[in-house]
Copies of this chain bind each other. A is one copy, B any other.
């Protein structure tokens, strides 16, 4: 490639989120368009001092509103965005997101991911979106932590209640 072509390639990578992001070691590719997804919940974890936004694709949003979350239907993708939690610079008692840590996903396909409870797991680190895990076994780590909520289809998140939602 000449310099001009290299420059163009670089500009493309910078401009198109998700472009040239490597798949996870288990072959899962970065879910397209997760930046456009709506919020399912927000969490603050004090063990590792992080703030999290849990997002869902359209299938997930519909399942959540309809209360069809145990099990979640095939086609659901849940995303979690994690930031370091920092003190707000103008409001002492507010905690806000600092550096971006990682984005991780659970993809529901009961047949395809039968060996891991019906969910495919994947995580990408940092703004550079480096795939997490030395090999496909990284998934055991995810599973170990999500097994305590096996009776809720392996999902911790309770989708938030908003005006217009049915009571449950």
Contact = CB atoms under 8 A, between A and B. Distances in A.
Contact of A35 (B18, B124, B149, B162): B162
Copy tally for this chain in the complex stands at 2
Interface in A14-49: 16-18, 21, 35-39, 41-47
B45 A42 contact: no
Contact of A55 (B39, B55, B81, B158): B39
A7 interface: no
A161 interface: yes
Interface in A117-151: 124, 126-129, 148-149
Interface of A: 16-18, 21, 35-39, 41-47, 51-53, 55, 81, 83, 85, 88, 90-91, 93-97, 99-100, 103, 124, 126-129, 148-149, 156-158, 160-165
